[in-house]
């Protein structure tokens, strides 16, 4: 009889601990999700900013200016463009 | 201790503990709306998730419009006045004045406003935001703060500004595709409820709120950023060179009707649209209808072919003056006194009288049928807002004078885009294709696009639902052959000629209505050139329209060379292999030695008369396109075997060689375009075998 009571008390205690543990895990996971979401948003913003900078750097006007001034390049003259056929 | 006292103390503790436990049970278990409200305020949190506006890409995945998160500064004046001391408020004012460069009075009036919430400045720059944070100007509780917003950026500045359009400070599309696709680009915001712990960290209860959230979808355009740039550059150069008021250029892919470039000048920077004039923001290529002039003649000829005429049909062109009713129709240039011209020659020499006679011969019904088939007076329904439909009054075609006018492209209006679609139809074997600007709407995360264009997941593709046949392939082919002659020697469009590819096209110089006299002006023109290349297997079609050029009045001298530069850039960009034998000549021309050139161009002459000069034969007539070239003559001294070259500046290589003819001179050719320099200088006597250097360039 005494052993049966002990078993019930142990089970209830274990269930209580399990419940508390699960609740704590939920809160902890929620914190993690929150932190990662912030990190993701921040990285995404950084990615967008970099993407803007890449697109600004690839602007045809800028590239043409660089090609002309830095590398002394110009548009090809007739006959200078040779297109190779794919085989 | 007295046991009674101990029991009393125990009882007191038990009663006290019971009271605490009872109160705790009452607070925790019993319903209390006041406490519930307080807890919600303290621990509850509502977040508005702002969607990211969809991006806009060109056909190769290059970004044309991008949205970034930025911060906007606000005051809550009521709280500010209560919770922040006067001296602190003054410090805030002076610092903001310095950082934001806003007048003190304006800042003060915002701070003292009676309203609960006031924007100080929307969309701060990165430096402004950092300065505000560094100086601790937002550390006054809820009284001053930074709100997160998105801002649209156009990394290529004014590139394709009229197609992209712009957005207002709230991120709503105002013009162009930003306006038309507002519902798709904007996305849906979501309100998400969460709890906060004692540290202020958020604990999300569920994701129900997030289900409603949707980022804006991205657009993939048909535009090619590089070609768009070339078109804008070429157009701006033409506007500057010929001092025109404005202009438009459109380039499209023949097979699909996809617009690769659509440019207008004047233009504006959509990053700073507020400061741009309304004039510069107008998309003239779709809003400004004009009388097309001679670029319309090929369609009149096509109709004549359909009604049984043949390319060899001859029409008497009245030696330059043709009376219809009480009006006299003359040719574009007074000296042109054509007699009998075939249909092809009418296009080649751009005879107004010939085209007018074709229209009169056809009669009102077939001309009306032609206009209906082409869609004159109807929008193309391209995916851009504000398209004009052009205008034609079919009833007026019953009048012979009006009918004759329509023959050479007057008396009705079309937009540049409409005219482009007509040439697109010719290039497509007579099939009209609806032009389009949006290739697809992306359904996937747009970031995947930036990592590799191949992995696009296209959410929606646009077909061409309104394609229709307007001419038979045979007639389209016959017209193409005629249009090729326009760009050959003696044709009005010779300056549109390309070295590597044959071009089919037509010039148009249309008189404008004088707004004061309401008659056709003799000094104000709209010039245009429309055409496609390579002529027999066209890949690209393009149209150049210039409004009121001042320096040179005719399309042959203005729109045609502009077309040549833009079309060449387009064909190179599309990697279209050279198809014309002229390449050989040009390849030779690029050599610094004369040997190759002599061997090909002059060998026949040298075999018969190796060291003699021969007088240049004058051409039988002087068509306007190469008037300058043929009016220049060599002075030949056959006795002393020497020759004097005129000033060839401004001529093309072909025109220059035509003037020099078969004289035994050693010619060194450098560059392409128009002659900029000749050495020895003009008008000097040159002995047989002398070397001359011709330097060509774009200006």
By Cβ distance, the residue of A45, A54, A77 closest to B671 is A77
Residue B104 reports pLDDT greater than 50: yes
Q: Of all residues in chain B, what percent carry a pLDDT higher than 90?
A: 49
Question: CA B441, B443, B444, B450: dihedral to nearest 10 degrees?
Answer: 0
| Mean pLDDT within B482-510 | 92
* Banded pLDDT at B595 (limits 50, 70, 90): very low
Instruction: Give a three-class secondary structure readout of B39-101.
Output: HHHHHEEEEEECCCCCCEECCCCCEEEEEEEEEEEEECHHHHHHHCCHHHHHHHHHHHHHHHC
Pick the residue from chain B with its C-alpha nearest to A41: B69
**Of residues B447, B575, B671, nearest to A83 (C-beta):** B575
Contact B69 A81 (CB under 8 A): no
How would you label B121-130 residue by residue, b for 16+ Cβ within 10 Å and e otherwise? bebbeeebbe
Residue B379 clears pLDDT 90, i.e. is over it: yes
Residue A25 C-alpha from the chain's centroid: 24
Q: Give the pLDDT score at A87.
A: 58
Query: Comparing B187 with B182, which gets the higher pLDDT?
Result: B182
Q: Per-residue pLDDT averaged across B481-498, rounded? A: 93
Residue B513, pLDDT score: 87
Residue recorded with tokens 């050959």: B488
How many Å apart are CA B210 and CA B191, to the nearest integer?
Answer: 8
Q: What is the mean pLDDT of residues B140-154?
A: 87
CB spacing of B577 vs A83 below 8 angstroms: yes
Q: Does the pLDDT of residue B326 top 50, yes or no? A: yes
Q: Is the pLDDT of residue B177 over 80?
A: yes
**B397 near B364, Cβ under 8 Å?**
yes
Among candidates B202, B499, B672 on the partner chain, residue whose Cβ is nearest the Cβ of A34: B202
pLDDT band for position B152 (cuts 50, 70, 90): very high
pLDDT in tens, A52-78: 999 999 999 999 999 999 998 888 777
Which pair of tokens denotes residue B615?
């007088």
Non-local CB neighbours of B607 within 8 Å, separated by 6+ positions: none
A18: how many CB neighbours lie within 10 A of its CB? 10
Q: How far apart are CA B356 and CA B300, in angstroms?
A: 9
Average pLDDT, chain B: 83
Q: What pLDDT was estimated at residue B79?
A: 87
Q: Say which residue, B697 or B202, is predicted with more confidence.
A: B697
Strand boundaries in B370-503, DSSP class E:
431-432, 438-442, 458-461, 468-469
ipTM field: 0.77
| B578 part of contact set with chain A, CB < 8 Å | yes
**pLDDT, tens digit, 9 for 90 and up, residues B529-538:** 999 999 999 9
Interval A5-55: pLDDT, tens: 899 999 999 999 999 999 999 888 888 888 898 898 889 889 888 989 999
pLDDT per residue over B443-478, tens digit each? Answer: 655 554 444 333 344 444 455 566 889 999 999 999
Under DSSP, is residue B534 helix (H, G, I), strand (E, B) or coil? coil
Is B68 an interface residue toward A (CB < 8 Å)? Answer: yes
Predicted pLDDT of residue B207: 59
How far A71 CA lies from chain B's nearest CA (Å)?
19
Does B590 sit within 8 Å of A79, measured CB to CB?
Answer: yes
Q: Does the beta carbon of B157 lie under 8 angstroms from any beta carbon of chain A?
A: yes
Contact between B242 and B558 under an 8 Å Cβ cutoff? The reply is: yes
Q: Are B696 and B675 in contact, with CB atoms under 8 Å apart? A: yes
Q: How confident is the model at residue B483 (pLDDT cuts 50, 70, 90)?
A: very high
Q: Is B201 on the interface with A (CB under 8 A)?
A: yes
Instruction: Provide the pLDDT for residue B176.
Output: 95
Q: What contacts B644, CB < 8 A, 6 or more positions away?
A: B634, B635, B636, B637, B683, B684, B685, B686
Q: What is the pLDDT of residue B445?
A: 55
Please give the pLDDT value at position B632.
Answer: 62
Report pTM. 0.75
B226 touches chain A (CB under 8 A): yes
Contacts B204 to A, Cβ<8 Å: 30, 33-34
Helices and strands (H, E) in chain B, number of each type: 27, 27
Q: What is the pLDDT of residue A86?
A: 62
Q: Do B68 and A45 touch (CB under 8 A)?
A: yes
Contacts with B569 from chain A: Cβ below 8 Å: 75
Residues 6 or more apart whose CB falls under 8 angstroms from that of B278 comprise none
Name the least confident of A64-78, B103-117, B447-461, B649-663.
B447-461
In this predicted model, what pLDDT tens digit does every residue of B24-56 receive, in sequence order?
888 888 778 888 888 777 777 666 667 888 999
Tell me how far apart the alpha carbons of residues B130 and B123 are, in angstroms, rounded to a whole number. 13
Report the alpha-carbon distance of residue B140 to residue B83 in Å, rounded: 8
Q: How confident is the model at residue A82, as a pLDDT?
A: 72
Which of B66, B229, B500 has its CB closest to that of A55?
B66
Task: Between B201 and B452, name the one with better pLDDT.
Answer: B201
Query: Most A CBs within 10 Å: which of B53, B155, B445, B564, as the mutation test of the A interface?
Result: B155
Q: What is the structure's pLDDT at B204? A: 63
């Amino acid at each position: 009889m005494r052993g049966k009571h002990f078993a019930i008390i142990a089970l209830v205690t274990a269930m209580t601990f399990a419940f508390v543990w699960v609740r704590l895990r939920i809160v902890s996971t929620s914190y993690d999700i929150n932190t990662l979401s912030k990190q993701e948003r921040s990285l995404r913003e950084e990615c967008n900013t970099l993407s803007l900078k890449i697109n600004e750097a690839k602007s045809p006007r800028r590239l043409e200016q660089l090609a002309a001034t830095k590398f002394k390049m110009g548009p090809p003259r007739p006959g200078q463009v040779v297109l190779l056929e794919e085989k | 201790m007295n046991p009674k006292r101990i029991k009393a103390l125990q009882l007191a503790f038990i009663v006290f503990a019971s009271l605490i436990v009872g109160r705790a049970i009452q607070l925790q278990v019993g319903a209390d709306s006041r406490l519930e409200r307080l807890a919600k305020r303290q621990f509850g949190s509502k977040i508005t998730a702002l969607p990211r506006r969809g991006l806009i890409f060109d056909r190769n995945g290059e970004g044309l419009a991008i949205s970034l998160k930025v911060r906007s500064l606000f005051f809550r004046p009521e709280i500010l006045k209560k919770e922040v001391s006067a001296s602190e408020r003054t410090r805030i004012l002076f610092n903001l004045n310095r950082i934001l460069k806003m007048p003190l009075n304006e800042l003060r009036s915002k701070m003292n406003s009676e309203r609960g919430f006031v924007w100080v400045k929307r969309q701060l720059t990165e430096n402004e935001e950092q300065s505000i944070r560094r100086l601790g100007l937002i550390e006054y509780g809820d009284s001053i703060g930074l709100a997160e917003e998105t801002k649209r950026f156009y990394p290529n500045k004014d590139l394709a500004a009229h197609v992209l359009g712009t957005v207002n400070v709230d991120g709503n599309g105002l013009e162009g595709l930003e306006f038309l696709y507002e519902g798709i680009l904007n996305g849906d915001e979501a309100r998400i409820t969460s709890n906060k712990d004692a540290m202020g960290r958020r604990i999300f209860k569920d994701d129900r709120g997030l289900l409603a959230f949707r980022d804006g979808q991205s657009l993939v355009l048909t535009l090619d950023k590089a070609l768009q740039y070339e078109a804008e550059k070429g157009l701006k150069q033409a506007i500057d060179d010929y001092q025109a008021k404005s202009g438009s250029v459109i380039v499209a892919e023949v097979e699909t009707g996809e617009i690769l470039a659509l440019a207008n000048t004047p233009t504006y920077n959509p990053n700073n649209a507020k400061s741009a004039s309304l004039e510069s923001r107008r998309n003239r290529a779709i809003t400004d209808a004009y009388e097309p002039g001679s670029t319309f003649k090929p369609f009149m000829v096509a109709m004549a072919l359909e009604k049984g005429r043949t390319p060899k049909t001859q029409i008497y062109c009245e030696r330059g003056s043709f009376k219809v009713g009480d009006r006299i129709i003359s040719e574009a240039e007074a000296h042109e006194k054509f007699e009998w011209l075939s249909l092809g020659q009418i296009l080649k020499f751009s005879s107004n009288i010939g085209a007018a006679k074709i229209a009169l011969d056809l009669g009102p019904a077939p001309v009306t049928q032609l206009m209906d088939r082409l869609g004159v007076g109807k929008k193309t329904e391209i995916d851009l807002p504000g398209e004009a439909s052009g205008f034609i009054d079919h009833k007026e075609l019953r009048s012979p004078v009006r009918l004759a006018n329509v023959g050479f492209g007057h008396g009705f209006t079309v937009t540049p885009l409409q005219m482009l679609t007509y040439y697109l139809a010719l290039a497509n074997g007579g099939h009209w294709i609806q032009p389009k600007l949006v290739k697809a709407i992306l359904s996937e995360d747009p970031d995947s696009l930036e990592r590799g264009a191949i992995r696009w997941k296209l959410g929606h593709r646009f077909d061409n639902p309104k394609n229709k046949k307007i001419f038979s392939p045979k007639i389209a082919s016959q017209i193409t052959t005629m249009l090729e002659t326009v760009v050959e020697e003696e044709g009005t469009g010779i300056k549109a000629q390309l070295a590597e590819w044959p071009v089919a096209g037509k010039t148009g110089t249309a008189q404008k209505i004088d707004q004061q006299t309401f008659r056709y002006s003799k000094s104000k023109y709209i010039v245009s050139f429309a055409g496609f290349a390579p002529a027999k297997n066209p890949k690209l079609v393009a149209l150049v329209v210039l409004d009121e050029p001042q320096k040179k009045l005719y399309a042959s001298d203005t729109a045609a060379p502009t077309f040549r530069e833009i079309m060449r850039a387009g064909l190179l960009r599309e990697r279209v292999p050279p198809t014309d034998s002229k390449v050989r000549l040009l390849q030779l021309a690029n050599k610094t030695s004369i040997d190759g050139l002599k061997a090909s161009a002059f060998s026949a002459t040298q075999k018969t008369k190796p060291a003699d000069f021969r007088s240049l034969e004058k051409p039988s007539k002087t068509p306007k396109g190469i008037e300058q070239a043929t009016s220049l003559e060599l002075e030949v001294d056959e006795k002393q075997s020497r020759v004097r070259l005129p000033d060839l500046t401004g001529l093309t290589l072909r025109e220059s060689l035509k003037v020099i003819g078969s004289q035994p001179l050693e010619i060194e050719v450098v560059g392409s375009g128009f002659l900029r320099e000749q050495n020895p200088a003009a008008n000097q006597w040159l002995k047989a075998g002398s070397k001359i250097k011709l330097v060509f360039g774009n200006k």
